[in-house]
């Protein structure tokens, strides 16, 4: 399955039945990603119009774009991972029996989860280092470590999501998508 | 060299075990890099790459172009494109399939994804072709093949990623896609003609439209034209009319395109609040999965570069005394093979870091190679057994077997190979426009 026609998970949940608080906690990052993308679009549009017509661009637009990108990508990642929307090659599927496929998927999910802890930890360390040095962004003077924390936090969440997926496959195989 | 070949084999192994491609490339890249530079060096490289990729200004063009494509699909612009193509071509034998090809090309000019083009056009074109008793093999094949134009006719998400990966001008890549894209349209029309010549029942003629109808249909496509000229015109600075200076960077062009498509969809009342959220979430999630692959691919490419695979390959080619054209043909063969199993973006990310240094060292133009890679990728989208566009069609239409679609696609596949041969033999077909700018 390619990335470009993924099913927009989460929207089906925008309406309908009574939801638990856990549901909202789970979909909140996805909504954050969607909002950040809308802001990015609106800001780029406003920047171009202001620059072209009034010769008065939004000077912090480049920096804002960088922040928004990190928010879009990393806050969407846990749900993408939980729903199994990562790009995979499923060509060999017919070669695996259902039982073998289940074992394979459990192992893959757990491996992905465990392996992601290291980069998440390293990003956290780099953020802490930026905090010690007092690094700020060039234009807005925004502390660099905050965005590092954000990325590390969602990388950790994604790692946990993969592990949970592996465990869920073990106990509730029908509940896991992809 | 040996280490990186082992790495490549390990990636393929993990990918076939259904591990997400992003993580397979990431793990192998990380382990391989550790072998050479130690664990600390490797994990530092990965950590830095994660932070930098997520905040790369140049990459912000990716979610914005995806968003533009999704808003365009929501806005119903596909229907109008189809109507205008039908008004001019519908009365010919196979005319509805021809109209589909032309409408796909028009849609590609405002959408950067082949799968989205095929999925959107199938909803509009398929019911019409069924109404006129078109054989499923021709109708589905014309949409699957026409849809592949999405990644060649600008804007194109794949060309953007190639440009960022190889530091080639995205503007030049876009404009270079135009002639090969139009050539593709022309050859696909020949493929339709050929199909109905062999089997006249495959595509009966529709009703002839009057000139009044044609004029009315043309009025419907203004939105598409405006969007195209806004994005592409802004990118090339042709909208620079005093006192308004509309020249965009690729990110700005994508942002303007997305905002324009949003406003068009909004003005037509085809976007509710939940519909907008739906599109935004879809785009953000697609972008996130693409970025995951990008990060994984960069980790892997750092490893193969450190392990000296590109240099090793260049040396091997030089010492074997292979001519440049032989090498290009071999690379194309590798792409066609990989395209049978790999998703297009992953294939590009896995191979371009390895082949690009070799190709440029042999004196080939980076823009030309980018277009060749995209054309081969297009071919892979309709090549069995994976041909993703065929599966998109199968997903949308439902009651047609993939075997029927693949059978119908054969003439289109053959003309695609002819087009590839033409582009390889006559590079100026690709380079004429970018070089004359």
pLDDT digits 0-9 by tens, A30-40: 999 999 999 99
Find which of A2, A81, A82, A149 to mutate to test the B interface (most B CBs within 10 Å of its CB): A2
Nearest-CA distance B409 → chain A (Å): 20
pLDDT confidence of residue A34 = 97
- Write down the ipTM of this complex: 0.88
A5, pLDDT greater than 60: no
Nearest residue in B to A12, CA atom: B278
Q: pLDDT by residue (tens digit) across A101-118?
A: 999 999 999 999 999 999
Nearest-CA distance B300 → chain A (Å): 14
B229: Cβ contacts below 8 Å, ≥ 6 apart: B239
Nearest-CA distance B278 → chain A (Å): 5
- All residue ranges of chain B with pLDDT < 70 are 242-243
Find which of B12, B271, B288 to mutate to test the A interface (most A CBs within 10 Å of its CB): B288
Residue pair B175/B236 in contact (Cβ under 8 Å)? The answer is: yes
Residue A172: strand, helix, or coil: coil
Average pLDDT along chain A: 86
Nearest residue in B to A178, CA atom: B18
- Which chain B residues touch A6 with a CB distance below 8 Å? 282, 285-286, 289
pLDDT confidence of residue B240 = 74
pLDDT confidence of residue A1 = 36
Task: Among B46, B64, B290, select the one facing A119 at the smallest CB separation.
Answer: B46
Residue A63: strand, helix, or coil: helix
B83: Cβ contacts below 8 Å, ≥ 6 apart: B217, B220
Calpha distance B432→B232 (Å, rounded) = 18
CB atoms within 10 A of CB B31: 15
Sign (positive or negative) of CA dihedral B376, B381, B384, B388: positive
A3, pLDDT greater than 70: no
Task: Tell me if B47 and A111 make a contact (CB, 8 A cut-off).
Answer: no
CB atoms within 10 A of CB B400: 18
> Residue B340 class from Cβ within 10 Å (0-12 exposed, 13-18 middle, 19+ buried)?
middle
Cα of B403 vs its chain's centroid, Å: 23
Calpha distance A105→A92 (Å, rounded) = 13
Residue A55 DSSP one-character state: S
A9, pLDDT greater than 60: no
Per the rule left: phi > 0, alpha: psi between -120 and 50, beta: everything else, A134 is: left
pLDDT confidence of residue A117 = 96
A66: Cβ contacts below 8 Å, ≥ 6 apart: A147, B55, B56, B57, B60
> Number of residue pairs across A and B with CB atoms under 8 Å?
229
Q: Pick from B194, B212, B209, B200: which is nearest to B90 by CA?
A: B209
pLDDT confidence of residue B191 = 97
Global pTM reads: 0.88
Calpha distance B25→B350 (Å, rounded) = 8
Interface contact A140, partner B, CB < 8 A? no
Where helices occur in A55-97 by DSSP H, the ranges are 61-82
């Amino acid at each position: 399955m390619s990335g470009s026609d993924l099913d927009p998970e989460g929207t089906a949940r925008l309406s309908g039945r009574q939801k638990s608080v856990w549901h909202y906690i789970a979909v909140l990052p996805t909504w954050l990603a969607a909002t950040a993308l809308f802001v990015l679009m609106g800001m780029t549009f406003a920047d171009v119009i202001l620059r072209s017509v009034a010769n008065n661009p939004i000077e912090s637009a480049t920096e804002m774009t960088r922040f928004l990108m990190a928010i879009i990508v990393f806050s969407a990642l846990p749900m993408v991972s939980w729903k199994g929307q990562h790009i995979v090659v499923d060509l060999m599927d017919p070669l695996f029996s259902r039982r073998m496929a289940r074992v394979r998927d459990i192992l893959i999910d757990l491996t992905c989860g465990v392996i992601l802890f290291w980069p998440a930890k390293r990003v956290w360390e780099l953020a802490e280092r930026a905090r010690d040095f007092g690094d700020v962004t060039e234009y807005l003077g925004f502390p660099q470590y905050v965005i590092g924390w954000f990325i590390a936090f969602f990388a950790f969440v994604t790692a946990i999501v993969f592990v949970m997926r592996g465990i869920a496959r073990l106990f509730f195989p029908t509940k896991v998508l992809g | 060299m040996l280490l990186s070949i082992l790495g490549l084999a390990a990636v393929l192994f993990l990918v076939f075990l259904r591990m997400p491609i992003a993580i397979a490339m990431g793990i192998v890249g990380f382990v391989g890099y550790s072998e050479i530079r130690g664990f600390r060096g490797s994990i530092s490289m990965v950590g830095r790459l994660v932070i930098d990729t997520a905040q790369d200004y140049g990459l912000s063009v990716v979610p914005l172009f995806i968003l533009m494509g999704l808003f365009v699909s929501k806005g119903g612009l596909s229907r109008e494109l189809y109507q205008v193509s039908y008004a001019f071509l519908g009365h010919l034998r196979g005319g509805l399939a021809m109209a589909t090809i032309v409408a796909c090309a028009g849609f590609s000019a405002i959408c950067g994804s082949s799968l989205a083009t095929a999925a959107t056009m199938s909803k509009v074109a398929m019911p019409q072709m069924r109404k006129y008793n078109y054989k499923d093999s021709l109708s589905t094949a014309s949409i699957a093949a026409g849809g592949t134009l999405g990644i060649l006719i600008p804007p194109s998400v794949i060309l953007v990623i190639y440009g960022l990966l190889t530091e080639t001008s995205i503007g030049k890549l876009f404009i270079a896609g135009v002639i090969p894209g139009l050539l593709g349209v022309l050859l696909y029309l020949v493929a339709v003609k050929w199909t109905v010549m062999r089997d006249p029942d495959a595509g009966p003629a529709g009703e002839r439209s009057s000139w009044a109808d044609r004029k009315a249909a043309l009025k419907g496509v203004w939105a598409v034209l405006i969007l195209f000229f806004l994005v592409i015109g802004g990118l090339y600075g042709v909208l620079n009319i005093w006192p308004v200076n509309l020249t965009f960077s690729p990110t700005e062009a994508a942002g303007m395109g997305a905002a324009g498509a949003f406003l068009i969809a909004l003005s037509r009342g085809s976007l509710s609040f939940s519909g907008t959220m739906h599109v935004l979430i879809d785009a953000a999630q697609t972008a996130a999965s693409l970025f995951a692959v990008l990060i994984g691919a960069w980790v892997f490419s750092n490893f193969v570069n450190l392990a000296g695979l590109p240099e090793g390959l260049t040396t091997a080619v030089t010492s074997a005394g292979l001519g440049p054209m032989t090498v290009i043909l071999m690379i194309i063969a590798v792409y066609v093979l990989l395209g049978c199993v790999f998703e297009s973006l992953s294939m590009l990310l896995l191979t371009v870091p390895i082949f690009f240094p070799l190709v440029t060292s042999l004196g080939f133009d980076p823009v030309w190679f980018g277009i060749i890679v995209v054309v081969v990728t297009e071919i892979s989208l309709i090549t069995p057994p994976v041909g993703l566009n065929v599966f998109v069609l199968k997903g949308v239409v439902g009651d047609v077997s993939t075997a029927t679609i693949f059978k119908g696609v054969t003439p289109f596949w053959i003309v695609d190979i002819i087009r590839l041969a033409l582009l390889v033999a006559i590079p100026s077909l690709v380079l004429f426009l970018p070089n004359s700018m």
